[in-house]
């Protein structure tokens, strides 16, 4: 009997170890999920500029999310399954959010540079021409 118990646990351990770190079928891949969540958070941020009533948030938000999901070739159900899967993998989710934050920082820095350049151009256009 002891042999069978040892064999059972050995086989179970072996099968579990061979499972690997592969993402299950129907789950959005890690890199695509990072990109998708980066865009989701950008949409979330853009909704703060909309008047905060439930109807308008639904009206503006749902269209933006549908367009985003269409661009990534996914649907709401797949997104929810993927979020549930990654939420059950806290280490991987933490690594994903490190990448998401880095992506958002790059985008913010880029926007700040563009905004600074536009302000400088406007100031140059408004300043009197000193070289006549």
- Are 35 and 28 in contact, with CB atoms under 8 Å apart? no
Q: List the domain boundaries for the chain.
A: 25-113
> Can you give the pLDDT at residue 101?
96
> Can you give the pLDDT at residue 7?
47
Q: How many CB atoms lie within 10 A of CB 47?
A: 15
Residues across the chain = 132
- Measured distance CA(15)–CA(17) in Å, rounded: 5
How far is Cα of residue 9 from the mean position of the Cα atoms in its chain?
Answer: 38
**Per-residue confidence in pLDDT tens, the chain, 132 aa:** 565 554 455 555 544 444 556 778 899 999 999 999 999 999 988 888 767 676 777 777 888 999 999 999 999 999 999 999 999 999 999 999 999 999 999 999 998 999 888 888 888 888 766 555
- Are 26 and 75 in contact, with CB atoms under 8 Å apart? no
């Amino acid at each position: 009997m002891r042999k069978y118990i040892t064999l059972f646990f050995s086989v179970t351990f072996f099968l579990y170890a061979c499972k690997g770190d592969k993402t299950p079928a129907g789950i959005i891949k890690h890199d695509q999920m990072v990109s998708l969540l980066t865009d989701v958070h950008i949409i979330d941020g853009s909704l703060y500029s909309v008047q905060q009533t439930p109807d308008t948030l639904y009206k503006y938000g749902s269209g933006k999310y549908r367009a985003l999901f269409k661009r990534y070739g996914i649907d709401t159900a797949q997104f929810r399954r993927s979020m549930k899967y990654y939420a059950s993998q806290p280490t991987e989710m933490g690594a994903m959010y490190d990448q998401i934050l880095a992506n958002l920082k790059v985008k913010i820095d880029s926007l700040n540079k563009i905004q600074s350049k536009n302000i400088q151009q406007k100031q140059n256009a408004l300043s009197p021409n000193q070289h006549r």
